[in-house]
Amino acid sequence: MHEPYEPYEPYEPWNAHRPARGNRRPVVIAVGALLALLLAAVAVDRFATARVESRTAEAFQEGMRTPSAPEVHVRGFPVLTQLASGTLRHVDITAHDLPASDTTGPFPVSELALRLKELRRSDDDTEALARSAEATALLSYPDVSDALGLEISRGSRPGQVHATVPLPTGDHATVTTTVSVLPGNRIAFRDFQVTGGVLPELGRAALTTVFERPIQLRNIPQGLRLRSITTTDAGLSARPSGESVTFRADDTSRINSRYSGA
C-alpha cells in the first residue's frame, strides 16, 4: 500500500525573513546626521573655548605684566552656554615670572597657579571677578636671596630655610630660620639660629634686623589672602585663597572685548 501523501513545506532561503537591506537605510542616515550634528556642536564649542582661553590669557598678561601669556584652561562642557550666561564656572590659570610691584623691595613670583570659580565681568566692564579662588605661588630661592641680601636655600625640616652669611675673614656661617605667615600677605622669618660656623655678635645684630623685616606679596590678584607657606626644593610655596577675587587689566577697555570673546 502506498503511504498517505504528506504535503511538504516549500523551501525558503535562510534569509527570507530578514528585513530588506533597504529598510535600514533611513535609520543609518538619521544616526549619521545626528552624529554629524553632535560633532559639529563639539567643534564649535571647542573653537569658542580656545578663543576665550586665548583672550583671557592676553588680558591676564596685560594686567599682571608677565613676560609671556599664561596657560588658561576653561573647564566644563559646553562652554558656549557659560559664555551666554556671562559666567565661566571653572577656570585654571598658570602664569610665570610675575614681576615685583613693590619698588622698595623687588620680589617677583616665579609661578602662580590659580583655580577660579565663577569668573565673570564686573557690571562696568572694567574688571573680571571670581567668586572664589585658590592659588599656589612659588617664590624661588634666588628671588628670596635677592630680597634678603643673603643666600637662601631649603632647610632640613619642613618650613625651614638656611641662610649663608659671608664673614670678613672669608669664611661663612650658616643660619637656620623658620618661615611663617603674617597678616597682610606678609612672610615672616622667625627664630633664627646659627647652625654652622661662628657668627660674631655684630653679625647677629645685623641678621636680627634683616629677619625682623617681613617680605610682603603685592603682585597677586586683589582678594587673595596668604593662608600658609612651606618650603620646597625650588623655593617657598605660598598658598593664598579668597572670595571675590578681582583681576584688572591696564587697558580696561580690552578686558571687556577679550573676556566676551569678541
Kindly give the confidence (pLDDT) of every residue in the chain, 262 residues in length, as a single tens digit, with 9 standing for 90 and above.
Answer: 555 555 555 555 555 555 555 566 776 666 666 666 666 667 788 888 899 899 888 888 887 888 899 999 999 888 888 988 889 999 999 999 888 764 445 578 899 999 999 999 877 767 889 999 999 999 999 988 988 888 999 999 999 999 998 888 888 889 999 999 999 999 999 988 988 888 888 888 888 888 888 888 877 888 999 999 999 999 999 999 999 998 875 433 333 334 444 3
Task: Decide: helix, strand or coil at residue 20.
Answer: coil
Q: What strand order describes the sheet that includes 151-154?
A: 151-154, 160-166, 172-182, 186-196, 215-216
Q: What is the pTM of this model?
A: 0.75
The radius of gyration computed from the CA coordinates of the chain, to the nearest angstrom, equals 32
Tell me, what's the pLDDT at 205? 86
Nearest by Cα to 100 from 137, 128, 49: 137
Question: What cell numbers appear for 7 in the block?
Answer: 504535503
Tell me, what's the pLDDT at 222? 86
Q: What is the DSSP string of 95-133?
A: EEEEPP--TTS---EEEEEEEEEEEEE-TTSSEEEEEEE
Nearest by Cα to 220 from 192, 191, 184, 189: 184
Question: What cell numbers appear for 129 in the block?
Answer: 571677578
- Run of H or E including 43: helix 25-64
Tell me, what's the pLDDT at 175? 92
Tell me the C-alpha distance between 86 and 78, whole Å. Answer: 13
